[in-house]
Structure 1
C-alpha cells in the first residue's frame, strides 16, 4: 500500500500536454476553414456581380434589336444599325469609338469660330432657317457709383432636347490695349442658376461690378447660353455680345437678342516646342512661355499648365507643370515626354490648358490645341515637326476660351 501511493501521486502530478495540443490544433484548423470559406464567398459574389452586369447588357442589346426590327418593319426596309453589333463588340473597341468622338471634338472645339456639327445643337446652329432662340437681359450703368448692373431675365424659344438643363455664362471682357486688338482678358465671370427641362427658362439673376467710365469704351459683355452637362463639357447653344460703349448712363437698357453662333475669344498666346522621337517612340512637348493679359483683378496669382495627348485613339496620362507666378510674360521652360503606342501613328492631338490657381479651386485661363492636319498654325507646326526629326520646333499658338 505504501508503494502504490507514491506512484499514484506521480501520475497525478504529470503535466497534461496532449489535450492542450489538441485544443490549439483544432483552433488553427477552424481558422483555416473560416478563411477558405470567406475566399469562396468572395469569389461567388464577384461571379454573381459579373453575371448580373452581363445580363443587363444583354437585355439592353435585345431591347435595342427588338426596337430596330420593329422600326425596320415599319419602314419596309432592313437597315443595319450600330446597336445590332453592340453586343458582339469587345470593350476596347467601344472605348476606341468614344475616344474617336473626343478627338473629333478637339479638332473643332478650339478654333475661334467653331461649333460641334456632330451634336444636334451644332446642326441647329448651322441651319439658317432654324431659330436658336432669344435671350432677354438688361444693362444699367451708374456713373456716380461707377457700378455696372446686369440682369439676366430669361430665354425664349430654345431647341427642345432631352434633359435640356439650361444656364447662362456671363463674361465681362476687356481688350488689352484697344478694341482693334485681338487679345482680351476676362475682368469678371458669372453664371446663372440652372433651369431644368424648359425651352423658355426664366433666370432673374442680377450681377454687379465696379467699372471705371474710361473702361466702357474697350469692354463688352458676352452672354453664352449653355446646356448643363454634369459629366462632360457644357454644350454651347449660342451667344449674345454687347459693346458697353453704347450704354447710356443712368438709363436701363433692355435687350431681347437672337442667339448667334458661339465663338471663342483669344485671351493670350503660348509658345510651344514639339520634337519627334521615332526611335524611342516618344513625342517631346516643350512649354516655353505664356503671354496673357491681366487676370480677374487679383493681386497675387499663380498659373500652371496641364498637357493632354491623344494618339492612335488612346489618351495618355496627363502631365502638369510647376506653378509659376503670373506675369505678362510667364516663363516655364519645361519639357514633357509622352510615350506613343506601337505601331507609331503620328496622328496625335495635343491639348494645353492654362489654369489660374485659387486656394480651393482653379480657374481656366485658356486652351490651345495642336494636331496633325489642323488649320493655320496647327497644321504648319505639325508638318515642320515631322520634317525636323529629333529637333525641337517652337511656335506661338493662341490661347482660346
Structure 2
C-alpha cells in the first residue's frame, strides 16, 4: 500500500483468460476435466447408445418413406404427383355414357352379374379357423308387430395367434328377401342392423343384448337374421370369427325361441347390382370409373332415402385418394351417369383394384349413413376380373358391365 491507497489484487480465471489489476493478459490454458476412469467410460457408453438410437430412428424413417411413398416416374422421366389423383369430377362425355346407360339395363342380355371370383376375393377366412357357437333368442310379438332379437352368449371362440386373446362382439342384420323363395342368390335388402357390446378378453362371452323393430306380419317369412361374430380391433379392421343365420320362414317364433348354432364361414349377401364403366387412356395415364346406374331392392318405407357411391383405387397396396358421386333420390334403379378420374401410370396398372361402396342416407339427418354394399374390380398377379380384361382390350373406349353388390 502507498499513500493510504490500498491496492487490491484481483485474479480471476475464466475460460483460459486472466485479469490482473485491470490489465488483461491472455493465456493459453488447457482445461482438463479431472474425472475418474469409471465416469469417463460411463459418459462414453451413454454417448454411443444415444448415437446408435438416433441412427436407428433415422434408418427407420427412411424405410417408412421409401415403402409407403414411392416416387413414381412418368414416361418422360419426370416424377409423378404423389397420390396419382386429379382433383374434381370431370364432366362425362354424355353421348358416350348415356348411350351405354340406356343400352344396358338390369336383366338385359348384355348384363354381366359378376362371378364367384368377386365374392371369393372378399372371403379371407378358412374352414379350419372357424370354431365356436352362438346362442340367441327370436320372438315376434303379433299384437305390437314387433320383432325382438336377443343375443345371449357365445362359446369356444377362436383366439388371435399373436395375442392369444379375443374381444368379441356380434353384428346383427335383418335381411329382407325380394322374393319368398329358398334361393341363396336372391337379392336382399338390409332392414336393420345392430351391434352388441364388446366383451374384453373372453372366448366364452355373455352378451344379453336385446334389439327390436317394427315388422309387418306378412313380411316375417321373408326375413333372415344374420349374426356375425367379430373380434374388436382398435387400430385395424375388426376380425371375423364366423357367422350363423336364422331364416324366419322355417321357425315358429310366436313365442320366444332360443337357439344355439355353430359358427360357419361367412358368406356375402347380394343386395343389388351396379352398372359401371371403365376406360383407361395410356397416353394421358388416366383411369375413368363411371357409375351409371345402381339397382337395389326397395323395401316399402315412407322415409325418403338417397344413395351415393364412393370409389377407391388401390395400387400396389397403396390406396389413392377416393371420390364420391352426388346424392340421388333412391329408386329401384337410381341413375347417376357420373365419372371419376384417377391418374394411373403404367407401372401401377399392373396390380390394381377398384372398390365401389354404395351408401344410403336420409337427407333429413346429416349423420345418417348406412352401407348398402361393396363392388370390387381388380387385376393382380394371379388373375384379373373380366371387366378389367375388356377395358385393357378396348383402350380409350368406355366398357360398361353390371356388377353384383355384396354385403
- TM-score normalized by structure 1? 0.69
SS in 2 for 1:223: strand
SS in 2 for 1:226: strand
> Counting helix residues as a fraction of each chain, which structure ranks higher?
1
- Relative to structure 1, the CA distance from residue 88 to residue 331 in structure 2 (aligned partners, 3 Å threshold; closer, same or farther) is closer
Deviations 1:5-27 (A, max 9, x none): xxxxxxxxxxxxxxxxxxxxxxx
Deviations 1:213-257 (A, max 9, x none): 221222111000001123332221100101101222432211111
Aligned length in residues: 306
SS in 1 for 2:349: coil
Cα offset for 1:198? Answer: 0.6
Which structure has more relative contact order (CA 8 Å, sep 6+)? It is 2
- Relative to structure 1, the CA distance from residue 112 to residue 330 in structure 2 (aligned partners, 3 Å threshold; closer, same or farther) is farther
- State the match for 1:111 in structure 2: 119
SS in 1 for 2:236: coil
Q: Tell me if the contact between 2:130 and 2:241 (Cα under 8 Å) persists in the aligned partners.
A: no
Residue correspondence of structure 1 range 377-396 to structure 2 within 5 A: 379-396=385-402
Q: Tell me if the contact between 1:114 and 1:262 (Cα under 8 Å) persists in the aligned partners.
A: no
- Relative to structure 1, the CA distance from residue 191 to residue 260 in structure 2 (aligned partners, 3 Å threshold; closer, same or farther) is same
Deviations 1:186-223 (A, max 9, x none): 11111111111111111000111222222122211100
Q: 2:322 aligns with which of 297, 318, 323?
A: 318
- State the match for 2:172 in structure 1: 170
- State the match for 2:405 in structure 1: 399
What is the distance in 2 between the residues matched to 1:366 and 1:356? 10
- State the match for 2:64 in structure 1: 91
Pair 1:362 & 2:379 matched: no
SS in 2 for 1:386: helix
Pair 1:189 & 2:193 matched: yes
- Relative to structure 1, the CA distance from residue 148 to residue 369 in structure 2 (aligned partners, 3 Å threshold; closer, same or farther) is same
Deviations 1:252-277 (A, max 9, x none): 21111100001111100110000110
Q: Tell me if the contact between 2:308 and 2:328 (Cα under 8 Å) persists in the aligned partners.
A: yes
Deviations 1:279-319 (A, max 9, x none): 00111111100011126946111111111001244322111
What is the distance in 2 between the residues matched to 1:272 and 1:54? 54
Deviations 1:360-382 (A, max 9, x none): 24111111000125999x71111
Q: Tell me if the contact between 1:150 and 1:208 (Cα under 8 Å) persists in the aligned partners.
A: yes
- State the match for 1:137 in structure 2: 136
- TM-score normalized by structure 2? 0.68
What is the distance in 2 between the residues matched to 1:89 and 1:297? 55
What is the distance in 1 between the residues matched to 2:295 and 2:381? 22
Pair 1:199 & 2:203 matched: yes
- Relative to structure 1, the CA distance from residue 364 to residue 57 in structure 2 (aligned partners, 3 Å threshold; closer, same or farther) is farther
- State the match for 1:286 in structure 2: 290
Cα offset for 1:148? Answer: 1.7
Q: Tell me if the contact between 2:130 and 2:242 (Cα under 8 Å) persists in the aligned partners.
A: no
Residue correspondence of structure 1 range 253-264 to structure 2 within 5 A: 253-264=257-268
Q: Tell me if the contact between 2:167 and 2:201 (Cα under 8 Å) persists in the aligned partners.
A: yes
Q: Tell me if the contact between 1:281 and 1:344 (Cα under 8 Å) persists in the aligned partners.
A: no
- Relative to structure 1, the CA distance from residue 345 to residue 111 in structure 2 (aligned partners, 3 Å threshold; closer, same or farther) is same
Report the RMSD for the aligned CA atoms in angstroms: 3.1
Residue correspondence of structure 1 range 118-133 to structure 2 within 5 A: 122=125, 125-127=126-128, 132-133=131-132
Unaligned runs of 5+ in 1: 1-50, 62-85, 98-107, 117-121
Residue correspondence of structure 1 range 2-401 to structure 2 within 5 A: 55=53, 58=56, 90-95=63-68, 111=119, 114-116=122-124, 122=125, 125-127=126-128, 132-161=131-160, 162=163, 164-179=166-181, 180=183, 182-294=186-298, 297=301, 299-341=303-345, 343=347, 345-358=349-362, 359-372=366-379, 379-401=385-407
With 190-199 and 175-184 compared, the bigger mean Cα shift is at 175-184
